[in-house]
Amino acid sequence: MLDCPAVVGLGEVMLRLSPTAGRRLENADVLAVHAAGAEANVLAGLARLGVSASLVSVLPDTPLGHRAAAELEAAGVDLDHVRWITGGRMGTFFVEQGAGPRATTVWYDRSGSAFPEHIDWPSGALAGAQMAVLSGITPALSPAAQRAAAAMAGEALASEVTLCIDVNYRERLWSADVARDTLASLLKQADIVVCAERDAMLLFGPDAADPAAFQAQWAPRASVCVITRGDDGCSAVSERSGPVSVDAIPTTVTDRLGIGDAFVAGLLRSLLAGHDLIEALRAGSALAALKATVAGDLSLARADELDALLATQTPRANVSR
């Protein structure tokens, strides 16, 4: 177990199954298997960059549970706060990668999985940590997961651990109205907020697409608030700078899943290193671009690869729109 992990995350781990490129599930004879989960993806991205990271979760004590754990451990994520459940079920989802006019399609099979039923926040899990990571997916999964998310946020606030929340709204899990009410409470405790523009507008209204307006109304104690816009880059505001925006880095997309989580990992790694907001946004954009080139949800880029890509990019920052 890590004595003092720099970053601790709370979230469900699932197994993702995907047919090979160009095949559909209805005619697939081989499925690639990958571990996945919003917070787990962020932690794996950080661990690959040399930042110590620990996951709080629940996994079934089955071959599928151990398959997911092995992939996260191979990426460097500490799993000593994972609770193993006998007889539990592993949540899965199936992904058909799109091409051209055909969109990527996802089917979930997570009903009855171990995490939502059995998760309980272990008091003291943030001891010595610098940051805590939570996504909007976790409190959507069950009342127990919602309580665990609230307990994590409360401990982070009490322990002066920086809390990062990625809104990450999933309409298949809960309605916009319910999500808004629940996330509003958590966001008031957040120090760093990341939200996709579409989620900001859907949940919090058109004004929330502006990071300064989002921060003022929904995350008043946040020192950094970031709005991501996919291929159109991102914009942000911090307590130490005015609004800025950074362009996305062009990339070849092999796999879109996990790109947003890689952005968060790159952002946090840079902020932990003491870099300014523009450099943190550039790091997030660069890691997202690298993640897009590999299959699976986890970012496997090393620190030297990220730094090399950043060195080739001409910094471009503008006043946020």
Interatomic CA distance for residues 76 and 70, integer angstroms: 10
Cα(88)–Cα(115) distance, rounded to whole angstroms? 9
Which band of pLDDT confidence, cut at 50, 70 and 90, is reported for residue 318?
Answer: low
Q: What is the pLDDT of residues 34-44, one digit of tens each?
A: 999 999 999 99
Q: How many CA atoms, within 13 angstroms, populate the side-chain half-sphere of residue 318?
A: 8
Per-residue pLDDT averaged across 281-310, rounded? Answer: 96
CA 249 to CA 236: how far, in whole Å? 17
Q: How much is the pLDDT for 215? A: 96
| Distance separating alpha carbons of residues 288 and 204, to the nearest angstrom | 25
Task: Give the C-alpha separation, 321 to 29, whole Å.
Answer: 48
For a pLDDT cut of 70, what percent of the chain falls above it? 97
> Pick the catalytic residue: 199, 255, 261, 297?
261
Return the pLDDT at 17.
Answer: 96
Superfamily of domain 7-228: Ribokinase (3.40.1190.20)
Can 207 be counted among the known catalytic residues? no
Consecutive H or E run containing 244: strand 241-246
Q: What proportions of the chain, in percent to the nearest 5, are helix, strand and coil?
A: 40, 25, 35
- Taking residues 295-321, report their average pLDDT: 82
Please name which of 109, 121, 98 lies closest in space to residue 36, comparing C-alpha atoms: 109
Distance CA 55, CA 35 (A): 13
pLDDT at 240: 79
Tally the residues of the chain.
321
- The domain locations on the chain are 7-228
pLDDT the model gives residue 81:
96
* pTM recorded for the entire structure: 0.95
* pLDDT tens-digit map of 84-115: 999 889 999 999 987 778 888 899 998 899 99
**Cα distance between residue 225 and residue 280, in whole Å:** 12
182-198 average pLDDT score? 97
Query: What digits encode the pLDDT tens for the residues 52-89?
Result: 999 999 999 999 999 999 999 999 999 999 999 998 89
Residue 320: predicted pLDDT: 43
